[in-house]
A and B are shown apart, each in its own frame.
Chain A
Amino acid sequence: MTPSMRQWLPPLFALAALIAPFTGWMPPYWITLFNYIGLSSLVALGLVLLTGVGGMTSFGQAAFVGFGAYTSAVLTLDYGISPWLTLPVSLLVTALGALLIGALTVRLSGHYLPLGTIAWGIALFYVFGNSSTLGAHDGLSGVPPLRVGTHAIIDPREYFVVVWIAVVLAIVATRNLLDSRIGRAIRALRRGAVAAESFGVNAPRAKLIVFVYSAVLAGLAGWLYAHFQRSVSPGAFGVNTGIEYLIMAVIGGAGRIYGAILGAASVTILKDQLQNILPWIIGSTGNYETIVFGAILVLVLETAPSGLWPLISGPPPPPKLTRAPDVPLPQRPKPAPGTPLLQVNAARKTFGGLVAVNDVSFEVAAGEILGLIGPNGAGKSTTFDLLTCVQPRTSGTIVFCGKPLSGERPQDVARLGISRTFQHVHLAPDMSVIENVALGAHLRGSAGTLRAFAHLERKEEAALLNNAKRQLERVGLGDQALSLAGSLSLGQLRLVEIARALCPDPILLLLDEPAAGLRVGEKKELARLLRELRGEGMSVLLVEHDMDFVMSLADRLVVLDFGQKIAQGAPKDVRSDPRVLEAYLGGVA
């Protein structure tokens, strides 16, 4: 299949699906079943984003379906408001509920989050079942149907169109979100918050956005459910249903958009057919469908651990580089060469009794390459972490561009114009190289989540991606833009990290062992690039073990040993400093 055919497949498929119930080929029973599949697809789609992309496991989505359903049921029944008007209210109530719950729970890390979702899932279920306004255990019945003019949409065939239009819209919005600046940040977060935060991503906020969005999709499903079922009762919103939604997302292929629909369809049809077929085979009525359902679930996971959708469609396609006109991004004004840029004064970091960085002071001037060297364990990488506020320092001051840093978070430091690479590569291996690099320009874009849904930020996005492409070409990896980062060699990954660090147009570049793993030719290229950057007014702080590399490149050197500064000065002076020789060679000289 050619790429252009692939591109037209989803809309054609969507169109065919919307016409299908009116052809007369689809039995009414299946139309109703597909309405339920559509409703589940919406919830599963939210989970694909939340769990598969965002890495947050939730058992509580069913409760959000309840939010949407109950809000609309109460408003239409008790206040006589039209269902179309309750739609925004339902979504808003769900979003607010999610915001409140999310503010508490998305901070939960690791295994605490799933348990947290079970906890509020169960709690909300009991609230639904015990609140008299919501009809307690019996729920609310007689919910009015949706109307177009005077025509009530009651026929499942007509409702089918409503449900699946909602699904199609949700797919488009979700795809657009993932293929945007915000989506990139969300995807990168899962593979480590440190890197994403160092380029200005506000991790808790990004997680909260995903959480609320997935809840809103569930709330939409709830609203549709209330007016299709025409009654609402707590049984549909328990933790068991929440678990079922999660099963759908994982079976379909967590992290894949169409996997949500495939998963919802597989689970719904399987459960339904087991109920029809098993009594016919086994002959007695028992709870056999859960036995077989559980067994099939395990079997499917054993044969396809990453879900069903990847079996059908293979790995996710690389992003399309939009061919929009290249608008130049605004440039940061650079301080005049030679003026003081960074002053570190008696910076100290202790871990318990261990002093990793012991009252180290040094300065970096604008347009200078400063080498920070020292034997293993000298405290070089910790110094980097202090400068970028990844770790809080114990004492001492750091002044950047005349502004003292105190209490900043990594994303604030990124905003000031400090950019870094990591000693151990922090890239998302399952994202393309260009997307990894474009993450570096996170702060140069401003488009928010709502504009991303409708892809109204394409001009900005094109500018960010073009910038990323340029930086990749600068480090000599322009032809690898669409490869998966995981397929590159270690040396190439280091260069990708440098390209990413260049994306924010930094004033000060912190490079942690950039030449490790590079071949001789690549090192020469890198040295040329760094000199070029210096020529453009950028300052570089370089940690490196390759002495030839650092000696030939750095204007000045600072030498650390056991957390203390033992020497500084021009490379040729440092080279003959007796204390440096002792630190490196153990005092033989």
Chain B
Amino acid sequence: MDSTIVLFLVQDAVINGAIYALVAIALVLVFAVTRVIFVPQGEFVAFAGLTVAALEAGRVPPTLWLLVALGFLAAISSIAWHWREMDARRLARVIASTLIVPLLLIVLTNFIAPMKLGLTANAILTLLLVVPMGPLIYRIAFEPLAEASVLVLLIASFGVHLSLVGLGLAFFGPEGVRTTALSDGTYNAGALIITGQSIVVIGVTLALLAALALFFGLTLTGKALRACASNRLGARLVGIPTSVAGQVAFGMAALIGAICGILITPITAIYYDSGFLIGLKGFVAAIVGGLASYTITALAALGVGLVESFASFWWSTYKEVLVFTIILPVLVWRSFRSSHLEDED
């Protein structure tokens, strides 16, 4: 292996690492605010990629109908859970918050999709279609379970994952897609050829990380989310509605996932079920970061990218094994560092 290959592998690792970092941060965010280990995070990535591909082909993406279905489910679930206290005003509010956005998007998407407006328009429309799924999923699956244990939330999370993957197959079909690069330039830096795509990926990731830092540091919503994360009861006592916080967290997770999807689909083929493995690797990074620290999480994601990239070069059959076994020593080390006499629950 010469330095060109090393540099190439590192570049590959950095790109994948950036995606895992974003997924991991979304997982940390959702867990911190709602205690849900959000297994289906990767599904947002896959669905966004598949949506961009459909838009590039000038088709109305099936994501639209998936979103409409989720809207109806959320409406039914809200009505069913609050049947006793349902009156006309409340009913109107439920319908407004669950169905208006999907129905508006039906009009918008059918109008725009055949026009093939290009990269930016496709990306924006994709975000519009994927991001509302986050809050809707929270309302359907997790809001009624807000008081349940982490274990129950985790199992429910698997339930949502199974359903979404099944829906993905039903709506998108089994074919994989790749989309056109966001930037087709290449730049030479010594022996290394840097693709414009990788610059876009790194740039967007850094911008997004900075935006998140600003959001949590400066805005009231961001601070409210952090308050929910550190103490749910306390947050409720000072008037932060935890349900809204949960929806915001899921919306942000969907946004981050969708951006990942838009970024990664030009690089690797995405299938309806590609999300799980991406999510799992993000999860590895999130755990190494202790489901708490954003900085360590991002570094760990880079580490996952490196291990994966070099393992696929040397020992490709065992690529996945290596990624998952290499974390065992890290876990043991972290576990020894934290106090051994901790009270659980």
Contacts and interface: CB of A to CB of B under 8 A. Distances in A.
A232 B155 CA distance: 28
Interface stretch (B48-56, B123-131, B219-227, B325-333): B325-333
A7 B111 CA distance: 68
A110 B140 CA distance: 27
A290 B154 CA distance: 17
A298 interface: yes
Given A112-B287, A302-B144, A305-B145, A288 B342 contact: no
Contacts of B159: 247, 293-298, 301
A489 interface: no
B344 A293 contact: no
B163 A126 contact: no
Interface centre among A51, A115, A118, A291 (most CB of B within 10 A): A115
Interface string A270-287: 000000000000000011
B163 A109 contact: no
B320 A116 contact: no
Interface centre among B148, B327, B328 (most CB of A within 10 A): B328
B194 interface: no
Contacts, number: 150
Nearest to A428: B345
A116 B155 contact: no
Interface stretch (A71-79, A187-195, A342-350, A494-502): A187-195
Nearest to A104: B332
B166 A119 contact: no
A294 B162 contact: yes
B127 to A, nearest CB: 25
Interface in B63-117: none
A55 B345 contact: yes
B145 to A, nearest CB: 6
A107 B152 contact: no
A40 interface: no
A343 B144 CA distance: 56
B327 A250 contact: no
B342 A109 contact: yes
A507 interface: no
B343 interface: yes
A510 interface: no
Interface in A197-234: 197, 203
Contact of A194 (B149, B154, B327, B343): B343
A294 B156 CA distance: 8
Interface in B151-173: 151-152, 154-156, 158-167, 169-170
A191 B144 CA distance: 25
B158 A295 contact: no
Nearest to A107: B335
Contacts of B163: 290-295, 298
Nearest to B162: A294
Interface in B236-276: none
Nearest to B273: A287
B120 interface: no
Contacts of B280: 118
Contacts of B324: 118-119, 122-123
Interface centre among A104, A110, A127, A192 (most CB of B within 10 A): A110
Contact of A122 (B145, B283, B320): B320
Contact of A290 (B165, B283, B287, B325): B165
A120 interface: yes
Contacts of A190: 344-345
B177 interface: no
Given A112-B334, A191-B345, A126 B162 contact: no
Given A109-B335, A197-B341, A123 B155 contact: no
A201 to B, nearest CB: 12
A247 B331 contact: no
B325 A254 contact: no
A291 B272 CA distance: 13
A18 interface: no
B317 interface: yes
A39 B219 CA distance: 54
B160 A298 contact: yes
B325 A130 contact: no
Q: Closest 3 CB pairs between A and B?
A: A294-B163, A297-B159, A294-B162
Interface of A: 51, 55, 57, 104-105, 107-112, 114-116, 118-120, 122-123, 126-127, 130, 190-194, 197, 203, 243, 246-247, 250-251, 254, 286-298, 301-302, 305-306, 390
15 contacts: A108-B331, A116-B331, A122-B324, A123-B321, A123-B324, A123-B325, A193-B343, A250-B155, A291-B167, A292-B163, A294-B159, A294-B162, A297-B158, A297-B159, A297-B162
Interface of B: 37, 140-141, 144-145, 147-149, 151-152, 154-156, 158-167, 169-170, 280, 283-284, 287, 291, 317-318, 320-321, 324-325, 327-328, 331-332, 334-336, 338, 340-345
